[in-house]
Structure 1
């Protein structure tokens, strides 16, 4: 009758090969006849893998410094007792000396009523080359015929799995695959470090202005990694935030000491004049609302501000319809070919946007007119306010000051950061 054997710990291996000549074993490969020297916590001081022919062998790689490894040993000891002659557990220790391990065994277990009968051995470079891993516990399953069944984590070592593997060496267990080339000093997911981009939840970068790099913004799609990258390079914070809120920069106001100011009207403002770069990479399945929420949090944290979309009562300009003058001898046509004027054919919404963008903060459309108009405006409408007002009047429009409640994005400095 075949017997079941489990090895736990780092066994010393004596093989007439150097570690550099040994390649890692794959599932189904024949395992060399390893020699385990300097066995601890056992009546034997040495044994070979072939001594357990006909048994299921499990090597459990262990460390006295490993928090997850220590409670696993009593569990394996219990499995040993349940299966009796069908199982043998050996702990393969990734530690510096037999003395360290022996003292640990005595202090942790064998000085109490919970005596551990399992043999312990030290790991060596040959064994590590055959069964490479970065994390412990690490369980290596070897069939009664001496072939590699699997390398798993500790969760797979159950009574049911042990019995099944003993009866059927072709059992499919969840493999533990450690990334041996992972470098914690390099960025995650770049060139496969730590995994591929399909593991990404989100990644963002925020930098100061990059000299020699043009201002630009846009979205790129990576159809291979199924990610979306949004970027805004060498741009002001307000321009960055327009991507979050989806409204024009003219509707951003700074609140300071309970006073409300349009940012673009300020002669100098860090929110207006400072340049930054921001980009975010996210899976292409992430909703627009979700990634905009991430962008908002990133920008607020890096800029030490708090933003929100809310209704604010604020002074503004109001565009209304009025009766046209009786005379048709208006000044509008005489500017058709004047290089200091811009000829426009726009609707009322477009006109208010143009006026706002050129210094009138904030222009609201209360004309209730869907019609387009043709109009010649000075290239600098706000600097030539009187002439701009006159031309608007001649078109049956009036621009007046007033107070309205408007939905704006408010920006406040966050003094708690």
Structure 2
């Protein structure tokens, strides 16, 4: 039967498979997914983004700014230069109509896969356009990639700047590939991702025709160790969100079944405030409401006294399986499996001979109770066999009976008033909550 853990309120579940669980909150936002999960297709970001030496002394350039002379003339270390040079300057390409700085890394597959495309652009507009790959990585590491990576070797890419820190300081970014577009006068035109690198866009820029490119905006201040809301994400734009919180003092116990949001009927919301774990499952299994404790089989260590706050918000089209999603949320949070199913169960049933009861009712002297009250007390004692009443019990009175009365004792007392207690077997709903076993 149910085992209650006398823990502090934040320790809601403990077993030999799950040493401790603490409360958490998460949100699944669609735009966050796009920003940080498209690494293989569009963009990648190093976990240990290296800070540039002296970066705090450099003021990052904004779109519309002009490259300062000191940056034009700054020696930049390169490898694989067609003329064998070890260093170059941006000033070497000042005669071009367009200079594109291509920030990349050897571990970035999407960066490398764009090299052949860049080479074709450069070859077609060599007199007017210069694309300069820029890597922050050490020379030896980049040289190894140039000699071993077949895509790089066959791409036609020439020199690349290595061991860079200064260019990244002027053009800070978090995700590569990252492209900076400069005109021949050094004016900072655009910062984009690879999708903007088309011949049509290149030609529009070098012919000074109007062109609108989608700006790439990296979140420089993002801290992977902080929750989304602490990182200033707009969590209100979630496509789906699940939140678990501890008890919140000052608010009564509340529960809201899944229904469309009043503020946006494209979304459905379910919530519970300061609710016990067992009652929380009523959001997942609405038929659980009214099921007594002796039909709730709890085989997991949960703190029945702990109260939780829970909220789920998801798209309306998920309404059909919102209950399943809520069940998965709670199960996953507690490390258990839950189920509500109908099955044949041993039980006791009550039938009444109403005529006999009416002739004996006057014999009920002293304290008495309704049949419904006695049935409720019996069924809300976890170890008792389910008791089912086959008649309307609310206005039928019986003597006071202990909830642990034996079958013989209860049967004898009830029979005097035309009520028969029988052993039976019925198809009834039973709720199961079991500890999730670790897979071997």
Question: Structure 1 residues 103 and 311 mapped into 2: Cα distance closer, same or farther (>3 Å)?
Answer: closer
- Secondary structure at the aligned position of 2:284 is classed as helix
1:90 aligns with 2:128: no
- Secondary structure at the aligned position of 1:330 is classed as helix
Separation in structure 1 between the aligned mates of residue 152 and residue 412 of structure 2, nearest angstrom: 100
Who is 2:21 aligned against?
none
1:400 aligns with 2:422: yes
Separation in structure 2 between the aligned mates of residue 162 and residue 175 of structure 1, nearest angstrom: 15
Aligned length: 371
CA contact (8 A) 1:95 1:101 kept: yes
Match for residue 366 of structure 1 among 390, 403, 409:
390
Match for residue 224 of structure 2 among 180, 184, 192:
184
Question: Structure 1 residues 144 and 227 mapped into 2: Cα distance closer, same or farther (>3 Å)?
Answer: farther
State the shift of 1:90 in Å.
0.8
Who is 1:3 aligned against?
none
Who is 1:27 aligned against?
63
Who is 1:196 aligned against?
235
CA contact (8 A) 1:206 1:276 kept: no
Point out where structure 1 has 5 or more consecutive residues left out of the alignment: 1-17, 254-260, 336-340
Give the TM-score taking structure 2 as reference length: 0.65
Superposed counterparts of 1:4-23, under 5 Å: 19-23=55-59
Who is 2:312 aligned against?
282
Separation in structure 1 between the aligned mates of residue 152 and residue 99 of structure 2, nearest angstrom: 28
Separation in structure 2 between the aligned mates of residue 329 and residue 310 of structure 1, nearest angstrom: 39
Match for residue 353 of structure 2 among 300, 318, 322:
322
Q: Deviations over 1:154-206 (max 9, x none)?
A: 2221222222333456522222221111112223x132356634246344559
CA contact (8 A) 1:315 1:401 kept: yes
State the shift of 1:309 in Å.
3.3
1:127 aligns with 2:163: no
Separation in structure 2 between the aligned mates of residue 294 and residue 366 of structure 1, nearest angstrom: 36
Q: Deviations over 1:346-399 (max 9, x none)?
A: 9x7x885565235764233433x5x95274774955559889778877886554
CA contact (8 A) 1:164 1:171 kept: yes
Superposed counterparts of 1:289-308, under 5 Å: 289-301=320-332, 305-308=336-339
Question: Structure 1 residues 77 and 393 mapped into 2: Cα distance closer, same or farther (>3 Å)?
Answer: same
Give the TM-score taking structure 1 as reference length: 0.68
1:77 aligns with 2:99: no
Separation in structure 1 between the aligned mates of residue 107 and residue 302 of structure 2, nearest angstrom: 54
Taking only aligned residues, the RMSD between alpha carbons, in angstroms, comes to 4.7
State the shift of 1:76 in Å.
0.9
State the shift of 1:313 in Å.
0.9
Identify the structure with bigger relative contact order (alpha carbons < 8 Å, sequence gap 6+). Answer: 2
CA contact (8 A) 1:60 1:92 kept: yes
Separation in structure 1 between the aligned mates of residue 344 and residue 152 of structure 2, nearest angstrom: 77
Question: Structure 1 residues 42 and 309 mapped into 2: Cα distance closer, same or farther (>3 Å)?
Answer: same
Separation in structure 1 between the aligned mates of residue 154 and residue 320 of structure 2, nearest angstrom: 59
